[in-house]
Amino acid sequence: MCIRDRSMIVRNRDVDSKPYENIMFKPRPGHADYAARIKYGGYNDPRGGGRFSGRITVAYVMAGAVAKKILSLIGVEVLAHAVQIGSVRVEGEVPYDEVRRNVYMNPARCAVPELAQRMVEEILSAAGEGDSVGGVVEGIALNVPAGLGEPVFDSLDADIAKMLFNIPAVKGVEFGAGFRIASMKGSEANDQYAIRDGKIVTLTNNAGGIIGGISNGMPIKVRVAFKPTPSISKRQRTINLEKMAEEEIQVAGRHDPCIVPRAVPVVEACLAFTIADHALRAGRIPRVIKSL
């Protein structure tokens, strides 16, 4: 990556569009090929998935790096880690220090080293069968001031979820207790208030740090479900759009058998710049930071 003047550029010096020639008219099941072709009347770029490739997320990570610097001015820290890959799941909360320390120490981007190894095995086993696995990334934002989030359409959770759904392969987003809250009683779900060290806190964090679309000062916790990588070498059914006939497809090329490890910094970045945007809008961070 090079930073010149006020721009960041990442040059892809490892391009290989060859595997896409054979599947130009054969949409990959699970990928955006067919929908993109219809949307852009055939002018979509099929090489590497074009605009629908996970490559687009490098720009999100670049924006996130800037956002994290801006957020550090008000003490906000953003973390992310893999909490599920395939059937291997992290149960319960992982202490923040372990997330900070462990995530980038293993290829699964998991904060629990013993599980990281099993996650890698699960990925390799799927790859060996020409298949892929999905999983879940947890994003955490600490020291977010209470009061961020704009009525009515720009509530903080709506904006975070919208950005996270803009990451390719994301199929679900949940905050705090998430879908589990639907089966709780009010007395279990409500986060009751308390004062600790002179600060207003809640005793639980089922809301995931956002209530009424506004941050409440508790850690923001969001979990993001990623589907298994669509491009797999297993034989699948598709259509040939040129011949209008049903055919089979076996996708070649360089595809990750699991998106989750690569998506960890992407979730972190998207969470960071959405919160930074709201902190700027709320006047928590000055719009111009400059010493003359």
Cβ–Cβ < 8 Å for 279, 76: yes
* Residue 206 CB, nearest approach to ligand FMN (Å): 28
* Whole-number Å distance between alpha carbons of 61 and 63: 5
Q: Is 276 in the site for ligand FMN (CB under 6 A)?
A: no
Among positions 205-244, residues that touch ligand FMN (CB under 6 A) are 227, 229-231
Cβ–Cβ < 8 Å for 138, 222: yes
- Please provide residue 82's backbone torsions phi and psi, each rounded to the nearest 5 degrees: -80, 125
* Whole-number Å distance between alpha carbons of 51 and 246: 26
Give CA 256 to chain center in angstroms. Answer: 16
Among positions 66-105, residues that touch ligand FMN (CB under 6 A) are none
* Residue 99 CB, nearest approach to ligand FMN (Å): 20
Stretch that binds ligand FMN, among 120-128, 136-144, 156-164, 257-265 (CB under 6 A): 257-265
* Residue 20 CB, nearest approach to ligand FMN (Å): 11
Q: Which one of 103, 222, 259, 272 is in contact with ligand FMN (CB under 6 A)?
A: 259
Q: Which one of 23, 27, 52, 269 is in contact with ligand FMN (CB under 6 A)?
A: 52
| Number of neighbouring beta carbons within 10 Å of residue 259 | 27
| Number of neighbouring beta carbons within 10 Å of residue 174 | 17
Stretch that binds ligand FMN, among 18-26, 46-54, 106-114, 121-129 (CB under 6 A): 46-54
Q: Is 26 in the site for ligand FMN (CB under 6 A)?
A: no
* Whole-number Å distance between alpha carbons of 80 and 250: 33
Give CA 78 to chain center in angstroms. Answer: 13
What are the structure tokens assigned to 181, written together? 């809250």
Q: What is the DSSP letter of 270?
A: H
Q: Which one of 47, 118, 262, 281 is in contact with ligand FMN (CB under 6 A)?
A: 262
* Residue 165 CB, nearest approach to ligand FMN (Å): 8
Binding mask 170-209 for ligand FMN (x = CB under 6 A): ----------------------------------------
* Residue 87 CB, nearest approach to ligand FMN (Å): 20
Residue corresponding to tokens 């639907």: 182
Nearer to ligand FMN by Cβ, of 208 and 230: the residue is 230
Q: Is 137 in the site for ligand FMN (CB under 6 A)?
A: no
* Whole-number Å distance between alpha carbons of 237 and 250: 9
